[in-house]
Chain A
Amino acid sequence: MSASVSATPGRAGALWRSFAENRGAVIGLGLMIVLVVVAALADVVAPHSPIEQFRENFLTPPFWMAGGERAFLLGTDDVGRDMLSRLIYGARLSLLIGFSVASLALVVGTSLGLLAAFAGGVVDVIIMRVMDVLLVFPSLLLAIVIVAILGPGLFNAMLAVVVVTLPGYTRLSRASALSELARDYVTASRSAGAGAVRLMFETVLPNCLAPLIVQVSLGFAAAILDAAALGFLGLGAQPPTPEWGTMLAGALQYYQRAWWVLTFPGLSILITVLAFNLLGDGLRDALDPKLKR
């Protein structure tokens, strides 16, 4: 029952309709759109610069509390930077992280998986064993070691997360490719004389897209969480970069005196990751025919 040909307009419409049935998915999509807009328009929307230090205003509470000021709606952090502005710019960073990591992991992982499926034999064994080894390593530990090698920083943290999420994409694309390769139309194409590379990218890949799209959307969410975890451990984005995980790292000690420094970045991570998870779930439900009823 799965689509054997690329989506036609009628099919896309049907996809949208089944997607829209799922309330969670629509909420996810909505949140994601809001986030993208806010991130894109950060320079316009944010009331202050995310790195400007207001020396008179260390640890100002949010505006609805005693001592709060309208200028700093969600309060300030311990060196006087506006929380709201930092959160808004942080959205930009998180989206960038999610996108970069997910797409890089997708491209590299899918290539490896397709290569393994098509080449078979020794190449397949080597690639899959390497992926097994990566999977068996506790992923956060592996990421920490990679960052320790490359040095702390946002870019290096992203690379580490790519390496850690690679096995997922590789396995998935290989499994999909293998099951497609066994199908009649592929055997037919091959006997008709189609070359391997052409076959790989033009015929097989589009049909593996569905699970990969789902994986990317969920991978977005995972990437943001992983990068935040590294930032929380002090290994991700370095100050004064307003990455949400990094903001949490410095905020621990203020949990009693200035709870807003701790709560808002965490909530932002939660909401963003939630949005992408809902989106991914919705896509999965819409694209997976077995759940259609």
Chain B
Amino acid sequence: MLVFLLRRIGLIIPTFIGVTLLSFMLIHLVPGDPIEVRAGEHGIAPERLAELRHQFGLDQPLWKQFVDYEVQLLHGDLGTSVSTHETVWNEFTTLFPATLELGLCAISFAVIVGLPLGVIAATRRGSGFDYGLMGLSVTGASMPIFWWGLMVILVFSVALGWTPVSGRISDLYYIEPWSGFMLIDCWFADDAGACTSAVSHLILPTIVLGTIPLATIARMTRSAMLEVLNEDYIRTARAKGLSVRRVVIVHALRNALIPVVTVIGLSVSALLGGAILTETIFSWPGVGHWLVESIQRRDYPVLQGGTLLVATLVILVNLGVDLTYGFLNPRIRR
């Protein structure tokens, strides 16, 4: 087990370097630099531009800038945002809890609803329920997220007025960001209504962000369950007279979970991509929106540091998935 773990970790280091290299190259390939972008209608005199570029070290050859950046990283310094002059780390830690909270809620929603639905569909294969579910889940997986989000806001917030329009909590509440998670911090607010507000603000974004993982998990669970339900050892268990429920939940589900866990892992990366669009639509102050803005502003440190942090997370989640895999199916650990 340890060897397995160490080998996986060993593979991570080149990936890290690859990520820093890629994000560095990409952002520097984008035409324009942060100073030009800020010029606005006023424009900027070429002499002044040269002066500022020198100040920010942007006139150094690219390879030197990259090496300087790697050295800086090794010192644990992720850089400072060019536009806000806050450190990248501070900005990330301020914004990440929002994305994480939304992501966790979306994934929980997808698993809590999708898993049972998939199991039921598998046990009732060929029924109307099965076809209906599969139809819905394919539709869910085909949704353009940005359009789906807008439609949902239109119906539930604007037309029906059931849910708030955007943000994490009503602006009337003064919340101290102890943890950054609104569901936790709301308990410390002076007002009783704060937590209800936090929950009601989470409903729509969770549903929208969780739709695609929900669809995928439901289908994955169904097909994994179908495979397992036809295995010999299951038939044996049934023949032995064990109740269907016990068979399904205890034996079948455990093995069916393997591909589901993979899907959950894959969803993390997808959630960040989906989060960008969802955060834009719901004015959710998270990391996705921050990263996209940094491209527009050519905020090199933010894009480089931010993608590195996000990539780290994805790598860690994948590692976790691999470990869970190994745990669930000892045959894979070698």
Contacts and interface: CB of A to CB of B under 8 A. Distances in A.
User: In the complex, are there CB atoms of A and B closer than 8 Å?
Assistant: yes
Interface centre among B143, B147, B295 (most CB of A within 10 A): B147
Contacts of A263: 151
Contacts of B30: 145, 148-149
A221 B143 CA distance: 10
Interface residues of A, number: 47
Interface string A271-293: 00110011001000000001101
Contact of B292 (A129, A144, A255, A269): A144
B14 interface: yes
Contacts of B135: 24
Q: Chain B's interface: helix, strand, loop or mixed, by majority? A: helix
Interface stretch (B51-59, B78-86, B177-185, B271-279): B271-279
Contacts, number: 122
A269 B142 CA distance: 8
Contact of A232 (B134, B146, B272, B288): B146
Contacts of A232: 144, 146, 277
Contacts of A252: 150
Interface centre among A130, A141, A149, A259 (most CB of B within 10 A): A141
A150 B277 CA distance: 22
B18 A133 contact: yes
Contacts of A142: 26
Interface in B220-254: 223, 226-227, 230
Q: Chain A's interface: helix, strand, loop or mixed, by majority? A: helix
Contacts of B295: 141, 144-145, 148
Chain A to chain B: the 7 pairs with minimum beta-carbon distance, closest first: A266-B147, A133-B18, A273-B142, A140-B273, A274-B142, A138-B272, A148-B30
Interface of B: 11, 14-15, 18-19, 22-23, 26-27, 29-31, 131, 134-135, 138-139, 141-148, 150-151, 154, 158, 223, 226-227, 230, 269-270, 272-273, 276-277, 288, 291-292, 295, 303, 307, 310-311, 314-315, 318
18 contacts: A129-B18, A133-B19, A133-B22, A136-B19, A136-B315, A137-B23, A138-B269, A140-B273, A141-B272, A145-B30, A148-B30, A229-B277, A232-B144, A248-B147, A262-B150, A270-B143, A273-B142, A291-B227
